[in-house]
């Protein structure tokens, strides 16, 4: 397919109008315009740590205080952030099209705050604002919504704002060492009393919610999916990265990539009827879906 056809907004609108079953797979790029950093590439470093390395069960076991500071900082940032026009455009599409389902890898709660209908939203990697016991699944304690900021006194440095709002938070100042937070100062599970409280997110090697995965599989297999929107994700992490091709029925499904950067390789992989729109999702989605 020619690059002009692949990035034609009129052709995209023509296909959208004929689409009843639409799947979106979203990633961190969707929330970039809300000021929240992505994982890979620029912004993927937190102090001198790789964000992906901190998002792991091994990192939590080795230094729960450090991993909690990282998550407490992200909770604080997400609470201060606002849903952007892309979150609103997706929520609006869901209200218009009952056969639209949004799968998001984002844990920042911005879809929910944009009032995306909950029955048309699957949060693949959980939420920064849910808590569970580190002994899970042996201990089943959870708190589905906790927005305390700071979560506990020891994590207060993660909630400290800069005097100058254009500057990064004091916690990120590389010239200031991080406080060493012992596990005893972190919240413990109120039920089993032995486990630590941990963020209710899905780390590498951990299973996604099986009921949710079954529900998504059922939705994909039920009928032909007319369109898959792949928005602001590097499509690196499974199972999320596999849904576009799984939902594809040859000749029927348009896979639409919306990303700040679309590589030559990505363009080369696109098939007839697919689309690629390069730019900020917060600018593009209102135009594409409006
Ligand atoms: C913009 C923009 C703008 C910027 N506008 N765009 C099959 C094959 C191989 C491996 C596996 C497999 N199946 C499972 C695995 C193992 C593993 C995996 O995928 N590994 C890969 C590294 C290959 N998967 C798992 O372990 C998953 N569990 C699982 O499958 O259990 C069963 C199992 C286990 C083990 C083996 C086999 C089966 C769990 C994955 C959990 C991922 N967790 C994290 C942390 C969540 C909590 C937190 O937020 O802290 O999820 S890691 C991190 O990556 C986070 C993200 O949700 C996820 C995806 O990142 P995302 O969103 O794509 O962000 P970026 O930064 O990568 O990309 C941003 C994009 O936006 C870029 O493209 C930019 O260009 C773009 N962008 N600004 C538009 N303004």
* Six-digit token string for 190: 């109120």
Of 16-30, 97-111, 140-154, 170-184, the poorest mean pLDDT is in 170-184
Please report the atom of ligand 1 found closest to the CA of residue 27: 62
pLDDT for position 231:
98
pLDDT for position 174:
80
Task: Please state the domain extents for the chain.
Answer: 1-36+83-125+208-290, 41-80+126-201
Mean pLDDT, range 26-54, rounded to an integer: 90
Cis peptide before 234 (omega within 30 of 0): no
Contact 258, 284 (CB under 8 A): yes
The CATH number that domain 1-36+83-125+208-290 falls under is: 3.40.50.1220
Give yes or no for residue 163 having a pLDDT over 90: no
Looking at the whole model, is its pTM more than 0.95? Answer: yes
Which of left, alpha, beta for 112 (phi over 0: left; psi -120 to 50: alpha)? alpha
**What pairs with residue 278 in β-bridges?**
259
The string over 112-125, giving b where at least 16 C-beta atoms fall within 10 Å of a residue's C-beta and e elsewhere, is bbbebeeebbbbbb
Q: What whole-number distance in Å separates Cα of residue 95 and Cα of residue 86?
A: 14
Mean pLDDT, range 155-172, rounded to an integer: 88
Contact 22, 93 (CB under 8 A): yes
* Six-digit token string for 181: 């937070």
Q: What whole-number distance in Å separates Cα of residue 223 and Cα of residue 21?
A: 8
pLDDT band, residue 251 (cuts 50/70/90) = confident
Residues across the chain: 290
Q: What is the predicted ipTM?
A: 0.97
Distance 174 CA to ligand 1 centre (A): 27
Q: What whole-number distance in Å separates Cα of residue 263 and Cα of residue 269?
A: 10
Mean pLDDT, range 147-164, rounded to an integer: 94
Q: What whole-number distance in Å separates Cα of residue 279 and Cα of residue 290?
A: 16
Q: In this structure, which residue's CA is closest to atom 34 in ligand 1?
A: 205
Other CB atoms closer than 10 Å to residue 58's CB: what's the count? 12
Q: What whole-number distance in Å separates Cα of residue 228 and Cα of residue 113?
A: 23
**What pairs with residue 25 in β-bridges?**
103, 230
Distance 240 CA to ligand 1 centre (A): 7
Question: Does the active-site annotation cover 125?
Answer: yes
Please report the atom of ligand 1 found closest to the CA of residue 54: 50
Query: What lines the ligand 1 site, CB under 6 Å?
Result: 27-29, 32-33, 38-40, 52, 55, 105, 107, 125, 201-208, 232-234, 236-239, 259-261, 280-281
pLDDT band, residue 269 (cuts 50/70/90) = very high
The CATH number that domain 41-80+126-201 falls under is: 3.30.1600.10
Q: Over the chain, what is the mean pLDDT?
A: 95
Of 44-53, 127-136, 139-148, 177-186, the poorest mean pLDDT is in 44-53
> 215-250 pLDDT, tens per residue?
999 999 999 999 999 999 999 999 999 999 999 998
Q: In this structure, which residue's CA is closest to atom 29 in ligand 1?
A: 207
Contact 226, 24 (CB under 8 A): no
Please report the atom of ligand 1 found closest to the CA of residue 106: 57
């Amino acid at each position: 397919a020619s690059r002009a056809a692949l990035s034609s907004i009129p052709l995209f609108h023509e296909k959208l109008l004929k689409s009843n079953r639409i799947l979106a797979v979203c990633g961190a790029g969707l929330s970039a315009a809300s000021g929240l950093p992505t994982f890979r590439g620029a912004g993927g470093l937190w102090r001198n740590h790789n964000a992906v390395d901190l998002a792991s069960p091994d990192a939590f076991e080795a230094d729960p205080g450090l991993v909690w500071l990282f998550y407490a900082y992200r909770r604080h940032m997400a609470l201060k952030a606002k849903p952007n026009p892309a979150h609103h455009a997706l929520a609006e599409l869901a209200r218009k099209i009952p056969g639209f389902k949004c799968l998001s890898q984002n844990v920042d709660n911005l879809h929910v705050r944009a009032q995306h209908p909950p029955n048309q939203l699957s949060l693949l990697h959980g939420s920064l604002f849910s808590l569970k016991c580190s002994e899970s699944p042996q201990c089943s304690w959870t708190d589905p919504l906790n927005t305390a900021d700071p979560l506990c006194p020891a994590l207060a440095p993660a909630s400290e704002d800069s005097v100058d709002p254009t500057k990064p938070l004091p916690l990120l100042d590389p010239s200031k060492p991080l406080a060493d937070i012992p596990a005893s100062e972190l919240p413990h599970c109120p039920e089993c009393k032995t486990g630590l409280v941990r963020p209710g997110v899905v780390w590498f090697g951990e299973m996604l919610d099986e009921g949710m995965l079954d529900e998504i599989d059922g939705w994909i297999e039920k009928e032909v999916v007319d369109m898959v929107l792949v928005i602001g994700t590097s499509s690196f992490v499974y199972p999320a990265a596999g849904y576009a091709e799984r939902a594809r029925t040859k000749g029927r499904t348009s896979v639409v990539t919306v990303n700040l950067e679309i590589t030559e390789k990505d363009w080369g992989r696109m098939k007839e009827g697919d689309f690629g729109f390069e730019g900020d999702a917060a600018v593009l989605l209102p135009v594409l879906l409006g």
